[in-house]
Amino acid sequence: MTDVRIAGVGLTKFGASPERTGRDLFAEAGLDALDDAGVDQDAVEALFYGNFMGELAEHQGHQGPLMAEAVGVDAPATRYEAACASSGVAVAEAVKNIRNGERDVVLVGGAERMTNLGTAGATEALAIAADDLWEVKAGMTFPGAYALMANAYFSEYGGDQEDLAAIAVKNHENAVPNEKAQYQREISIADVVEAPMVAEPLGLYDSCPISDGASALVLTSEAFAEEHDLDAPVSITGTGQGGDLMALHDRDYLARSPAADEAAAAAYADAGVSAADVDVAEVHDCFTIAEVLAMESLGLFEVGEGISAASEGKTTREGELPVNLSGGLKAKGHPVGATGASQLAEMTSLLRGDHPNSEYVEGATTGVTHNAGGTVASAVVHVLEVEQ
């Protein structure tokens, strides 16, 4: 299968900018990606764009053409929605589009404006990723759903709040040098376990923040990159998407994420790699427990063993397999529609050697990104490899 080159990446700073419109956020990320790629906007043949709650946050549907216009791209533009996996899905579709030969240059990314809704409004908006009839009407919130998974995990495999706290501490530590991150500050285990509860056992510091932000990637065919002598050493070599039943209570497992198992298996097979080849991972840690489920689905840890990976130092920046060197959703922030593509942007920088945390993955060749929607009813995994 033809590999797809990541020619350029762009990210806004993630954080609270409630006054900034989605179109302005995406324009910044998109233009930065084009500049990074050295590709003119006139060369872009399509926009694949992820966004989740635009109707609720900005009263704005039909965002594809709006975002293309914002970056000066005159080409077909489509919005993809898969809750928090929206731009991960957009990337997967863009990769297929280049591979099938339809296009040579596409812009892909996502944006989300959330903080203008306030905490209550954003909580309500995020909840629409769950089953409205059978979950939301029974009082379920998004943190609540992951809390149900966390307690199920504790019951089945063990672990406790301090194990989860070690994940938050690790990801905050990783975010300190990342200027794109929402929280560039360290926290302690005590800060996490003593924080106000959101949905037990998940407290404020187990939860990703509410964020505004955008991400973008310029993807090209290998032929285009070579013809135009682009400096694009990182390729997407594998892509996979998985799905599951919508409501958590209808799933086979309450403490596992089979959709991500499927996505990982497909992405690894596509790339011709295995979990053992992975040097570094960016995973969807919307809540601390989510990082555990993600790593187990990716096969980086056995089921039931991911819970102690951070507390044992295995996934810290000095560990054998650094996870979320960007700071993750937890500390980098989670503007949901931007998150999936932002993971590939961060991974590209890590593998190219121009990320503030690249020093911790010197010599790394293979990275994996994991993006989840809802309580992992949608999951997208990508394998990225860098030319040595």
Q: Could you give the residue numbers annotated as active site?
A: 84, 334
Task: Assign 5 to helix, strand or coil.
Answer: strand
23 CB contacts (<8 Å, ≥6 apart)? 66, 67, 69, 70
User: Interface with other proteins includes 124 (CB under 8 A)?
Assistant: yes
Residue 148 binds other proteins (CB under 8 A): yes
Residue 249 CB, nearest approach to other proteins (Å): 4
| Shorter beta-carbon distance to other proteins: residue 251 or 284 | 251
Complex with other proteins: residue 88 or 306, whichever CB lies closer? 306
3-state secondary structure of 106: strand
Does residue 138 touch other proteins according to CB under 8 A? yes
Q: How far is the CB of 149 from other proteins (least distance, A)?
A: 8
Closest CB 207 distance from other proteins, rounded Å: 9
Using rule CB under 8 A, residue 151 touches other proteins: yes
Please state, as a whole number, how many other Cβ atoms lie within 10 Å of the Cβ of residue 274: 12
Q: What phi and psi, each to the nearest 5 degrees, are found at residue 274?
A: -130, 175
What is the spatial distance between Cα 156 and Cα 188, in angstroms, rounded to a whole number? 27
Based on the shown chain and the rule CB under 8 A, indicate whether residue 102 belongs to the binding site for other proteins.
no
The answer to whether 136 contacts other proteins (rule: CB under 8 A) is yes
Count H helices and E strands in the chain, helices first: 13, 11
Q: Is residue 147 within the footprint of other proteins (CB under 8 A)?
A: yes
Structural contact between residues 335 and 111, judged by C-beta atoms closer than 8 angstroms:
yes
* Contacting residue, 15, 50, 143, 209, with other proteins by CB under 8 A: 143
- Which lies closer to other proteins via its Cβ, residue 101 or residue 118? 118
For 117-125, the CB contacts below 8 A with 24+ separation are 117/53, 117/56, 117/57, 117/210, 119/210, 121/56, 122/210, 124/56, 125/53, 125/56, 125/57
DSSP type of residue 132: T
160 is a contact residue toward other proteins (CB under 8 A): no
Contact 66, 94 (CB under 8 A): no
133 binds other proteins, rule: CB under 8 A: yes
| Among 59, 196, 229, 318, interactor with other proteins by CB under 8 A | 196
Contact string (CB under 8 A) for other proteins, positions 229-268, x = contact: ----------------x-xxxx---x--------------
Q: Which of 120, 229, 362, 363 binds other proteins (CB under 8 A)?
A: 120
- Examine residue 206 and tell whether it contacts other proteins (CB under 8 A): no
Structure tokens at 237: 């070599």
Q: How would DSSP label each residue in 37-88? A: HT--GGG---EEEE-SSHHHHHS---HHHHHHHHTT--S-EEEE-BTBTHHH
Nearest distance from residue 197's CB to other proteins, in Å? 5
Binding interface with other proteins (CB under 8 A): 119-121, 123-124, 127, 133-141, 143-144, 147-152, 155, 196-202, 245, 247-250, 254
